[in-house]
Structure 1
Amino acid sequence: MSTLRINPPPMKHTLSLLLLILLSLSHRASAAEWRGVVGKTAAESRAEWQRVTSGEELARGKEVRFLPKPNYPLTTDDNDAHDLTSGVLSARKDDRVWFSKDAVGWHYGVGTGTGILMIVDLGQAQPVGQVALRTLGGREQGALELPASVELLASLDGTHYYRLQRMAKLTPAESELSDFKTAFYIPEEGTAFMVPLVCAQPVRARFIALRVTPQSSLFVDQLSILKATDGTALQDLASFPPVQVFTDGLAAVPRSGEFVVTTNIVTPNWIEIQDFTGTAPGKSLAGFRLELPEGLELLPQSKPAFTETKLPRAGWRSYEFARAASHGSAADATPQGPLYITVHPGAKIPQNASIVLTGLLDGQPSHTLEYPLQLVEIPTVPPLPALDISLAWMSDDEEKVWPDFLPSFSRMGFNLVSTFPRNIPIQRDGTWPSAEFLGQARQQGYRVVYNESPFHVMDGVIRSRLKAGKIEPAEAAEIFNQVKGQPGKYLSPLYRGRFFREELERVAKLTARAQPDHVYLDVELWARAVVEAKQDPRVQDAWKSSGLSWDDFITNLGSEALGSLVKAIRDAVPKRQLTVGLYNSDPDRSVMDGMFQWTKIYPGILDVAMPSIYVQGRALDVARRLRADHEALQNRQIIPWLTAGTYGKFPAHLMEPMVLETILNGARGLTYYEFSDFDPMDFYFHARALAALGKFPQLLQTGKPIPCQGSNPALHYTCFASDSEALLLVGNYSKAPHDEVTVPLPMKSISQAAMVDGQSLPIEKGSISMHVPAGEFRLIHLTAHTAGEK
C-alpha cells in the first residue's frame, strides 16, 4: 500500500444529536433522531416500519457491501447483498429473523469487534434526509441482542467519510443515563423484537455507511435511505468529524484520531486495529509497526509485547508488535496498549514531524499511514487538599507499570491511588505485593481508594460451586428465588446464609489488608433479582408480614444488606476515618439497583453520593445532575463517576468544562472509569481544568455554588463563591450563534473581575460583559472588596 498522510480531526468536533423516541411519533424530524420501542407485537412493529420509511426510497434495489461478510448459516445466502434493500421485510411474521434467509446475520467472527460496515453506493450524490436500519433485539437467546453501538457515516467520493451520528448502548444499571442523544437503553428481557434505528440528519452524499458494533451477534432485515424532501436544508459534510474507513486488509490507527506525545509526563497511547482480512486468528500472523522520529523512544513498559527493528531512515526507531490472537467482537475491539513514549532530554523535534503506523499480515505491510506528531506539555496542578481526585478504576498492576507513576500522577492533580486487593493474592512467603507500592504512595502524600464489587463475587462463588455439585439442593433453594416451584435465575434478596456471611468476611479482610481512606462499592446485581423475587412465595409471605409497601419492604432489605457490609468494612479498620460511596447512588436517583433507596442509605450508611455521569463530555448534563444533587443534599458530599470514553470516545477538549462544572456545582472531588479510556489529551484537559481551579485554594475549601444568571438564555451559568471571592463559569455548550452576554455580579462586594488566564474585565453598572463563542466557555475570577490583593 502507498503511504497516506492523514490529517487529524479538528479539536472542536460537531457533536452528534441522537434521539431515541417512541415509534408513534412522526418520522419527519428537524434534527437527527434514532427511534425504537419495546412491547409492540411483530405486526405492529412491521406496520410502524412502513410508516417510518414512507417517502422516496434511494436504497431500493441497491447493493449493500458488507465488511466483514455475513457469517450466520441460517440467514446467509447468495442474495445477502440485496436482502436489505428489497423493500420486503423478513418472511418470518414473528420477527425471529435469525431463522430467515431473507435477513442478514453475524454471530461473533473476525472483524466484527471493530464494527460491521454496511456501505451503499447511491450512484451519484443525493440529498439524503433519513437512514433507517431494522435491527433485532430482546435477547430471546443470550446472544440475540441489540448492538453495542451504531455509527452513521457519509461520503461524497467513497474515500473521505464523515461521522454524522454515533449512539452507544447502556447497561441496565445506567439506564437513567439514556439521554436519547448519544446513548440509549432498551430493556431486553427474553422476547425478540425488531427496532428501527432512524437517523434524520439531512446531508448531500453518494455513499452511506453504517458501522454497527455487535456485542455478540447482529441480525437485520431492512435498510432504508430516504431522499430529503424539497426545501430541506442540507448540512455540509465537512462540518462533521472526519473518520477513516478501511475496506480491506488490516490497519492500525490512533484511537483518538491524532497522535500526541506529552513532553513533561509520560502518558499512555492506544492503538485501534481495524481488521478486514477475513482471516481467523491463528491462520495468519497479525500485528502492527510503529515508527518514531529521532528524539522519541518507546519505553519497555509498553504493551503488547514488541521488538525493535532497524529502519533505513537515519535516526528513526521502529517497533513491531504481535497482535494477541483474538476471536469475537469483544476481543477484536480491545485497543492495543498502553504505549508509553518518552521524549529525549534536549531533543529538537521539528514542528512538521510525524509518526508512521503500518498494519502487518504475516510480516508484510497492509496499510501504511502517516500521522502528524503533536507534542504537548501537560499543565502542572498544585496540591488540592480540598478535593478528592482519583482515577479509581485503575488496577494495581497498571499503576506499577506506568513509568514514574507516583510523581507524574500527582502533577496531573490526582491525590488518591486505587487498589483492587481481591485481584492481588498473598504470596507464598506471606507478603502482599501491593503493600510496598501503597506504602510508597502514602509517603508521597497520596491516600488510597479500595474498589470492591461485593455480592457479585458472592454470586460468582455460588454459581461456581453449584456447577461443581458442591451445594446441596436444599441450600440452593434457600439461595435462589423460587418461581412456580422451580429455582429462579437470580439470588434471593432474602438470603443471609453462609455465602452472605463469607462475603462480609472477605471484604472485611481485604479492607484490613489495604487500609484504605476511601471505599468505592460497585453493586449492580439485584435489579432483575428483585423483579423475579416478587414471584417467590417466601418473599410474598415476608412482604405481607411486614405490613409495608413493596418498595419499602424491598429497599429495607437492601439497606440491611448494605448496612451489614459497610459495618464489616468500618469494623475492619476502626482507627481509620473512611469515606464510603456506592456507585451510581445519589439523590437524583431515588432507588439504585432495585434495592438501595437513597434516603435510607445516606447518611447512615454511606458518606458520599456517587452519581454515574457517563455522558460523553456533555458539560451541561454534568452541571445539571450535580446541581440537583447539591441542592438536595445542601452539602458537598458528592464524588461523581466521570469518564473519558465509556460508551464512546469524545473530543478530549470536552474534558475541561466537564471537570470545571463538576467542582463548581458542588462536588468535593471526582473519580473516573476507567484507565484504558484515557488518551494523552484527556489527561491534558483534565489537568488544565484542575490547574485553573488550583489557583484558588481558599475558595475551593470554603466556597459553595450560588445562583447566577446572565442576559443570554442560550448560555449556561455556574457560580461558586465564598464571602470574599467567586469563580464564574459561562458556557456556550449549545453552540448558540448569538454569543454576547452581560452577567450581573453575583455579590455586591465584587471589585475586580478577570479571566483566569489574566485578562481583566471592566465592571460597569454592577455587571460584566463578554463574548462566549459557540462550543466554548469562559472562567472568570471575581474578587470582593475584603479579599485584599490578589
Structure 2
Amino acid sequence: MRTVLAVILVLAVAATVTFGQLQDAEAQPRWTPEPDDLDPAVNLALGKTVSFSPQPNYGLTSAGDTDATDLTDGVLSDHHHGQMWFQAKCVGYSYGGRANLSLDLGRIESIDEIAIRFQTAAADQSLYGPVWLAALVSDDGESWRQVGEFTIIGRDDTVKFGVPRNENASAAHRFRFDDLHTRGRYVGLAFYCSNLLISDEMYVMRGDHDPAAVDLSAWPIVDFSTSRPQMHLHKPYLCFTTNITTENPVGLTAPADMEPEEVLVRLELPPGVRLVDGHGFGRGTRTQPAERLSTIEGEAIADGWTSYEWDGKTVASTKTWGRLFVSGDWPDGTEGTMRYQIVYADGSEAPMTTVPIRAIEIPETPQPKALLMGLSWYFLDAMVTWPDCLDAFRTLGLNTVSSYPRWDSADEQQALWEQAREQGFKLMNIDSTFHHMAKESEIYCQFEDGTTGKAPCPSYRGQYYQAEIQRIASQCAKARPDYLFPDIELWNWRGPVDAEKCTRCQADFAASGIETWEEWRLQKGYEMWTEAVDAIRAATAQAGGPEPQFGVYAWVLSSDYQFTWPTTRFYPEYLQSVQPSTYSALDWFQIMRVGNRVRAARETVTGPDVMPWISPGDAGTFDGERFRYTLLECFCNGASGMNFWSNRVWDSELLAAYSHAIRNLVPVEDLLLSGELLQGATVEGPGRISGIVADGQMALLVADYYLDGGGAVTVKLPVAAAMTATDLDTGEVLPVAADGTLRVALQEGTRARILHVK
C-alpha cells in the first residue's frame, strides 16, 4: 500500500514526447531564475552546503549523493514535463513528516528574504508543497529564532503566500519570507512534508540594513537543529478531548548519523489539563513494553501548572516516537497553551516549546447500522495501549475494530478483539495476502540461466503458495471477521514483467491454450484470488464465523490492477467493494478530487459498494475541517464506508472531525445506502454539488472551497415541486423553490454544507 505513490509517479514515464517537443522544452525552460538569484553578492545561499535532519529519502532525487549542494547551485529543474521528482538535481522526501535543513553563510549577514521552491502540483498526481513551513536564523547555530511561518493547518496561508491553485498541471512555487530585516550567520527551514515533497532551490537574499542594528529579541527562540534530535508534534497546535480519552502522536526528527541517546522528556500542562497516559519515547520494546506514563506522578509548578517527566531514548527520525493521552475539565472550545522540551544526556536542554492547545468535547455520536466506520490500518497493539479504547470508539460513533492477525497475536490483543465482538462492533481483518510467502527461490520467476527474478512468479503454485493460502484461511477462521481487506502489491504498476522470461510461466502459458500473455496474466491473477477467497470462505464457515465481505486496496473496476487482477471478473462474487485510493487530500483541489474518484468508482458498481482509502495525515497532516470535508465528499459521492492508512498520526482533532462527520451522516444513512448518484443538478456560478437520491429525497453536499461565490452558492435541483433542505450540522432549514433553486450560504470555516432535501 505504501508503494502507491511510487506506482503513480512512475506511470508518468510512459508519457510520449516527440523530439520536436523536447527541443521546444529545452529552448523554452518551464522555470528560470529571477534576476538576482545567480548573484552571490545578493543570494547568499549560492554555493553553500546544506545540512538535513533527517536526510532526504526519495531515491530518484538522491541519486549521485548531491543533495547537500542541490538547493544552492542556482540550477532549477528543467524536466520537460515539470516533474521534479525524476531529477537528481532536486531534493525529495517521501512521506517524510517533519524535516529541518540549515546552511552556514560563513559570517553574520543582513537578511531580507529567505525562500525555497517546492513542486506544488502535477498532472493527475497527489502532489502538494509543505503543509507547514518556518524560516529561522541564528548567529551561533545553537540558538534559533523563527522569523516567518506558512501553514494550511488550522488556517490557510496560501493566498497570503501567493501559492497558485492546483490546476491539475505541473507547478512550482517559491515560498518567500520577505521584508524580514533580520540577520544571522546560520539560516534554517523547518517544514512538514506532504506525501512527496520536492524542492530544487533555496535562497537567502541579502538586506541593505546594518546587521548589528537588528534586535533579534523581536522573534521567539524555538527548538530547531540539524545536528541533534528534536521532539515535535505533528501540528503547530494540539487538541485534546475532555469526555473521552484520545491520542496525540509525538514525532522525533533526527540527523542520519545520530547515535541513540538517553534523554529526559518534560511535559508541562496548565491548570485543568492532565496527562492520562502515554507510551513509547524509545522506552521498552514490542515484547517488553516500558511502564506506562499513567504511573508518573505530576509535580506542581508555578501558576498551578503540572510538570511530568520521564526517561526516553532517541531513535532514528520517526512519526511515532511516542503517544500522549491528554485530557482535562476545560469547557469545549477553551484555548490555552502547554509546554514541552527534551533534556539531553549531557544535561543541556532544548528550548522550551510552547504550543497552543484547545479542548474538544465529543457529543455522544450514534454508531451507524451499516456504514463502515473504523480506522482500518489501526491495529490491536495500538488499541490495547489506548485507555478505554472501546468506550472512546463508541462515543465517537465508530462501529468497526480492525486487526492484522499476523501481528496482533498477544493474549491481551486477542481478548480485546473478542471483547469488541461481544460489544457489537464489526471486525475487520487487514492483511498483505501473498506477500507473506516464504522468501525462498522457488517462489520467484525462474530463468534459463538458473537465476531468479525478484518478484513472485504468477504461475507458482508450490508448497509456499499453498502454505500462504492456508495461513490466511486459518487466520480468518480464528478471527472470524466481518471484513477482509488485503493489500496485494506483489508487482509494480507494470505487473509481473518477468513472466515472459520465466521457464515455468512459459510452460504454463503453452499448456493453457490462452492466446495472449495479457490474457494469461489475468487468468493467473483470477486463479490466485478466487482460490484464496474459496479457502477463506470454507475455513470461516467451518469455524462458525460469518462470511467476510471482501475488498482489496486500490482495486477498482475501471482497470485491471497491475495487469494481473481482473477486477470486473471478481465483482461481486469474489469482491464486494471497490476501494479507490487517494492518500493526499491536502488542498481544496485534492479534496474535490477524492470525491470525484469515489463518484467514478460508484458509477461502475451496482450498489453503494465503494470504500475508499485516504490518509489521516501520513501523506501530510491536515486539520479537522479539511478532514471532515473529505469524508463528506466520499459519502455524498457514493461511498458506504471509509478506509485509512495508517495509524501513525491519528490525533484528537481528526478523531473529533470524524465523529462530527458521522453525526452528519447517520440521519441519512438509509438514503445513502439505498440511493443512486444525483444526476441533473447544476451550479450557477462558482461552487460544487454532490449527492445521493432515493425515494424523492436527497443527501447533498454543497461546497465552495475557494469561496469564489461571494458568500453563497446557488444550485438548481431536479425537483417536481417546492421542498426543504435541512442542514444536517446546524439544523437550519433552507427553502428549495419549485423550479429547484436552492441558495446555500458559505463562508470561512463553513466551505461545505451537508443537506437533507425532502
Normalising TM by the smaller chain, what interval? 0.7 to 0.9
RMSD: 4.6
In the alignment, the residues of structure 2 paired with residue 560 and residue 626 of structure 1 have an alpha-carbon distance, to the nearest angstrom, of 28
CA contact (8 A) 2:223 2:353 kept: no
Task: Report matched runs for 1:14-25 at 5 Å.
Answer: none
Q: Within the alignment, does 1:661 sit opposite 2:633 as a pair?
A: yes
How does the TM-score come out when normalised to structure 1?
Answer: 0.71
Match of 1:551 in 2: 518
In the alignment, the residues of structure 1 paired with residue 92 and residue 686 of structure 2 have an alpha-carbon distance, to the nearest angstrom, of 45
Task: Report matched runs for 1:424-443 at 5 Å.
Answer: 424-425=408-409, 433-443=412-422
Report how many residues are paired.
651
Q: Within the alignment, does 1:584 sit opposite 2:554 as a pair?
A: yes
Q: Within the alignment, does 1:505 sit opposite 2:470 as a pair?
A: yes
Return the offset for 1:267: 0.6
In the alignment, the residues of structure 2 paired with residue 647 and residue 396 of structure 1 have an alpha-carbon distance, to the nearest angstrom, of 23
In the alignment, the residues of structure 1 paired with residue 530 and residue 568 of structure 2 have an alpha-carbon distance, to the nearest angstrom, of 13
Q: Within the alignment, does 1:160 sit opposite 2:147 as a pair?
A: yes
- The residue identity in structure 2 corresponding to 1:53 is T
Work out the percentage of aligned pairs sharing the same amino acid.
24
Return the offset for 1:668: 1.5
Return the offset for 1:47: 6.5
Q: Give 1:539's match in structure 2, choosing from 487, 490, 505.
A: 505
Structure 2 CA distance for partners of 1:381 and 1:595, relative to 1, 3 Å = same
Return the offset for 1:745: 3.3
In the alignment, the residues of structure 2 paired with residue 715 and residue 71 of structure 1 have an alpha-carbon distance, to the nearest angstrom, of 41
Match of 2:263 in 1: 286
CA contact (8 A) 1:132 1:224 kept: no
Return the offset for 1:743: 1.9
In the alignment, the residues of structure 1 paired with residue 192 and residue 554 of structure 2 have an alpha-carbon distance, to the nearest angstrom, of 26
- The residue identity in structure 2 corresponding to 1:408 is A
Return the offset for 1:260: 1.3
Q: Give 2:753's match in structure 1, choosing from 779, 782, 785.
A: 779
Q: Give 1:342's match in structure 2, choosing from 311, 327, 331.
A: 327
Q: Give 2:445's match in structure 1, choosing from 475, 480, 490.
A: 480
CA contact (8 A) 2:134 2:190 kept: no
CA contact (8 A) 2:275 2:326 kept: yes
Return the offset for 1:46: 12
Return the offset for 1:662: 1.4
CA contact (8 A) 1:161 1:243 kept: no
In the alignment, the residues of structure 1 paired with residue 273 and residue 26 of structure 2 have an alpha-carbon distance, to the nearest angstrom, of 60
- The residue identity in structure 2 corresponding to 1:246 is F
Q: Secondary structure at the match of 1:599?
A: helix
Q: After superposition, give the CA deviation of every residue in 1:447-486 in whole Å (9 maximum; x if it has no partner).
A: 111111111111xx224xxxxxxxxxxxx35643426552
Match of 1:759 in 2: 732
In the alignment, the residues of structure 1 paired with residue 18 and residue 242 of structure 2 have an alpha-carbon distance, to the nearest angstrom, of 54
Task: Report matched runs for 1:103-502 at 5 Å.
Answer: 114-118=98-102, 124-125=111-112, 131=117, 153=133, 155=135, 159-163=146-150, 198-200=172-174, 204=178, 223=201, 246-247=224-225, 251-275=230-254, 280-282=258-260, 284-304=261-281, 305=283, 306=293, 307-308=296-297, 310-313=299-302, 315-326=304-315, 331-343=316-328, 351=334, 353-362=336-345, 363-425=347-409, 433-458=412-437, 461-463=438-440, 476=441, 479-482=444-447, 485-502=450-467
Structure 2 CA distance for partners of 1:627 and 1:398, relative to 1, 3 Å = same
Q: After superposition, give the CA deviation of every residue in 1:40-79 in whole Å (9 maximum; x if it has no partner).
A: 9xx999968977435524254333463448999xx9xxx9
Return the offset for 1:733: 2.3
Structure 2 CA distance for partners of 1:124 and 1:381, relative to 1, 3 Å = same
Q: Within the alignment, does 1:747 sit opposite 2:734 as a pair?
A: no
Return the offset for 1:778: 4.0
Structure 2 CA distance for partners of 1:160 and 1:383, relative to 1, 3 Å = same
Q: After superposition, give the CA deviation of every residue in 1:641-661 in whole Å (9 maximum; x if it has no partner).
A: 222112211222111111112
In the alignment, the residues of structure 2 paired with residue 710 and residue 392 of structure 1 have an alpha-carbon distance, to the nearest angstrom, of 35
Q: After superposition, give the CA deviation of every residue in 1:251-294 in whole Å (9 maximum; x if it has no partner).
A: 43321221211011111012233447x98334x43342111123
Q: Secondary structure at the match of 1:335?
A: strand
CA contact (8 A) 2:485 2:553 kept: yes
CA contact (8 A) 2:704 2:713 kept: no
Return the offset for 1:632: 1.3
Q: Secondary structure at the match of 2:654?
A: helix
In the alignment, the residues of structure 2 paired with residue 483 and residue 778 of structure 1 have an alpha-carbon distance, to the nearest angstrom, of 60
Match of 1:97 in 2: none
Q: Secondary structure at the match of 2:453?
A: strand
In the alignment, the residues of structure 2 paired with residue 675 and residue 697 of structure 1 have an alpha-carbon distance, to the nearest angstrom, of 26
Return the offset for 1:615: 2.2
In the alignment, the residues of structure 2 paired with residue 107 and residue 758 of structure 1 have an alpha-carbon distance, to the nearest angstrom, of 44
More displaced 10-residue stretch of structure 1: 654-663 or 698-707: 698-707
- The residue identity in structure 1 corresponding to 2:146 is T
Q: Which runs of 5+ in 2 are unaligned?
A: 1-7, 57-61, 78-87, 120-126, 138-144, 154-164, 206-219, 284-292
Match of 1:608 in 2: 577
Return the offset for 1:89: 11
Return the offset for 1:728: 1.8
Q: Which runs of 5+ in 1 are unaligned?
A: 1-18, 25-35, 91-101, 134-146, 167-179, 185-195, 228-241, 427-431, 464-475, 785-790
Q: After superposition, give the CA deviation of every residue in 1:399-435 in whole Å (9 maximum; x if it has no partner).
A: 2221111121022121111122212447xxxxx5544
Return the offset for 1:692: 1.3
In the alignment, the residues of structure 2 paired with residue 555 and residue 708 of structure 1 have an alpha-carbon distance, to the nearest angstrom, of 37
Q: After superposition, give the CA deviation of every residue in 1:137-195 in whole Å (9 maximum; x if it has no partner).
A: xxxxxxxxxx99978957598723334899xxxxxxxxxxxxx96999xxxxxxxxxxx
Structure 2 CA distance for partners of 1:698 and 1:225, relative to 1, 3 Å = same
Return the offset for 1:752: 2.2
Match of 1:769 in 2: 743
In the alignment, the residues of structure 1 paired with residue 189 and residue 699 of structure 2 have an alpha-carbon distance, to the nearest angstrom, of 44
More displaced 10-residue stretch of structure 1: 200-209 or 378-387: 200-209
Q: Give 1:678's match in structure 2, choosing from 636, 640, 650.
A: 650
Q: Secondary structure at the match of 1:595?
A: coil
- The residue identity in structure 1 corresponding to 2:249 is W
Return the offset for 1:604: 2.8
CA contact (8 A) 1:636 1:666 kept: yes
CA contact (8 A) 1:354 1:372 kept: yes
CA contact (8 A) 1:152 1:209 kept: no
Match of 1:95 in 2: none
Q: Within the alignment, does 1:646 sit opposite 2:618 as a pair?
A: yes
- The residue identity in structure 2 corresponding to 1:160 is V
Structure 2 CA distance for partners of 1:50 and 1:287, relative to 1, 3 Å = farther
How does the TM-score come out when normalised to structure 2?
Answer: 0.74
- The residue identity in structure 2 corresponding to 1:416 is T
CA contact (8 A) 1:155 1:205 kept: no
CA contact (8 A) 2:331 2:361 kept: no
Return the offset for 1:536: 2.3
CA contact (8 A) 1:526 1:594 kept: no
In the alignment, the residues of structure 2 paired with residue 416 and residue 350 of structure 1 have an alpha-carbon distance, to the nearest angstrom, of 28
Match of 1:66 in 2: 50
CA contact (8 A) 1:480 1:487 kept: yes
In the alignment, the residues of structure 2 paired with residue 355 and residue 127 of structure 1 have an alpha-carbon distance, to the nearest angstrom, of 29
Structure 2 CA distance for partners of 1:677 and 1:39, relative to 1, 3 Å = farther
More displaced 10-residue stretch of structure 1: 203-212 or 576-585: 203-212
Q: Secondary structure at the match of 2:436?
A: helix
In the alignment, the residues of structure 1 paired with residue 466 and residue 521 of structure 2 have an alpha-carbon distance, to the nearest angstrom, of 20
In the alignment, the residues of structure 2 paired with residue 107 and residue 737 of structure 1 have an alpha-carbon distance, to the nearest angstrom, of 36
Return the offset for 1:673: 1.8
Q: After superposition, give the CA deviation of every residue in 1:610-639 in whole Å (9 maximum; x if it has no partner).
A: 222212254311210111111111311111
